[in-house]
Amino acid sequence: GESVGLHLPTLSVQEGDNSIINCAYSNSASDYFIWYKQESGKGPQFIIDIRSNMDKRQGQRVTVLLNKTVKHLSLQIAATQPGDSAVYFCAETRVDTGFQKLVFGTGTRLLVSP
Amino acid sequence: DAGVTQSPTHLIKTRGQQVTLRCSPKSGHDTVSWYQQALGQGPQFIFQYYEEEERQRGNFPDRFSGHQFPNYSSELNVNALLLGDSALYLCASSLRADGTDTQYFGPGTRLTVL
C-alpha cells in the first residue's frame, strides 16, 4: 500500500547542532513533497516543499534534499533551537492528477536540549 | 489574513452517535481536504472538496461524509460513531489554481468517542 516511512522515530540533539531528519517514500510516481512540523496540540505547519524536478531547496535555516534514485527525502535544520522541538512529517503527493491527497508517514520526534 | 479555522476544538460523543465538524479555509483558498490523525500517527486522508463536490476519497467508509458550501467552508460528518473514530480531525485548505496545491492545516478538532 501507499506509505511514507521515516528511519528514526526520535532524534535528540543539542541546541546549536544541525539536525537531519530522513524519510523514505514508496510511490515512485510522487512528484511533490512537503515537510510539516507539528507541535503538541496543534495542526501540522508547512515548513518547506520540493518538486521532483529539483534535488535541493533551501529556506530559512532549513534545507530539503530529494534523491529520486533511492526515493529518499531529508530535512536539514541548521543551528537547531529549542523551539524546533516537535514532530516532523514528510508527505508526498502527485500534482499531475489534478486533485491530490497527501500521504504522510508516522513522523519523527525532534528533541532539542538547551 | 486568517488561517484555517476549525470548530469545535474538542468534542466528546458516545458510540452510535453522529458528529459534525466544521472548517473555514484560509482566505483565498477554494479547496478543502480532511484528514484523520490517530494518536502517534501521521494524518490519513479522508476526502477533498472543490467546487462543492467530493473530488477524491481515501480509504474511509461511507459513514464519513462531507459537504462544501459556496463560501468554500466545509463540514465533515461521521455517523454511527465507533470507538476507533477517536482521533484528531484536521482540515487543510489549498488553492486549486496554485499548481503545487500546498495544503495548510487548521488546529484540528479532537474527537473522543466513549
CB contact under 8 A, B50 and A107: no
- With H, G, I as helix, E, B as strand and everything else as coil, classify residue B29: coil
Over 90: is that where the pLDDT of A31 sits? no
**CB-count exposure of residue A79 (10 Å: 0-12, 13-18, 19+):** exposed
Beta-sheet pairing, A32-38 with A56-58? unpaired
Query: Quick one: pLDDT at residue B107?
Result: 96
Asked if B64 and B74 touch (Cβ cutoff 8 Å), the reply is: no
A20 to chain B nearest CA, in Å? 19
Give Cα separations from B69 to A55, B23, B54 (angstroms).
Answer: 39, 10, 12
**CB-count exposure of residue A105 (10 Å: 0-12, 13-18, 19+):** buried
Torsion of CA A100, B106, B5, A111, to 10 degrees: -170
Query: Which residue of A101, A103, A106, A109 is the best one to mutate when testing the B interface, meaning the one whose CB has the most B CBs within 10 A?
Result: A101
User: Which residues does chain B have within 8 Å of residue A104's beta carbon, measured at their own beta carbons?
Assistant: 35, 42-44
User: Which residues does chain B have within 8 Å of residue A98's beta carbon, measured at their own beta carbons?
Assistant: 55
Of A91, A101, A105, the CB nearest to B58: A101
Higher pLDDT, residue A82 or A105: A82
Over 50: is that where the pLDDT of A78 sits? yes
Over 70: is that where the pLDDT of A8 sits? no
C-alpha span between B114 and B96 (Å, rounded):
38
Asked if B92 and B102 touch (Cβ cutoff 8 Å), the reply is: no
In degrees rounded to 5, what are phi and psi of residue A96?
-75, -10
Q: Inform me whether the C-beta atom of residue B41 falls under 8 Å from chain A C-beta atoms.
A: yes
C-alpha span between B21 and A59 (Å, rounded):
34
Query: Quick one: pLDDT at residue B85?
Result: 97
Query: Quick one: pLDDT at residue B109?
Result: 97
Neighbours of A8 (CB within 10 A): 13
Query: Quick one: pLDDT at residue A2?
Result: 42
Over 50: is that where the pLDDT of A52 sits? yes
pLDDT tens readout for residues B6-63: 999 999 999 999 999 999 999 999 999 999 999 888 999 999 999 999 988 999 999 9
Surface of B (63-92) touching A: CB under 8 A? 90, 92
Q: Which band of pLDDT confidence, cut at 50, 70 and 90, is reported for residue B81?
A: very high
Beta-sheet pairing, A19-25 with B104-105? unpaired
Residue of B nearest to A109 (CA): B40
Query: Quick one: pLDDT at residue B1?
Result: 60
Query: Quick one: pLDDT at residue B39?
Result: 85
Q: Inform me whether the C-beta atom of residue A103 falls under 8 Å from chain B C-beta atoms.
A: yes
The mean per-residue pLDDT over the stretch A7-28 comes to 89
pLDDT tens readout for residues B18-34: 999 999 999 999 999 99
Query: Quick one: pLDDT at residue A96?
Result: 64
Torsion of CA B78, B10, B96, A100, to 10 degrees: -60
Dig out the grid coordinates for A17 from the structure. 547542532
Dig out the grid coordinates for A97 from the structure. 492528477
User: Which residues does chain B have within 8 Å of residue A4's beta carbon, measured at their own beta carbons?
Assistant: 42
C-alpha span between B31 and B97 (Å, rounded):
10
Higher pLDDT, residue A2 or A104: A104
The mean per-residue pLDDT over the stretch A87-111 comes to 85
Q: Which band of pLDDT confidence, cut at 50, 70 and 90, is reported for residue A98?
A: low
Give Cα separations from B113 to A91, B13, B37, B41, B83 (angstroms).
Answer: 28, 5, 14, 18, 5
Query: Quick one: pLDDT at residue A6?
Result: 43
CB contact under 8 A, A101 and B108: no
Over 60: is that where the pLDDT of A4 sits? no
Contacts A–B by Cβ distance under 8 A = 64
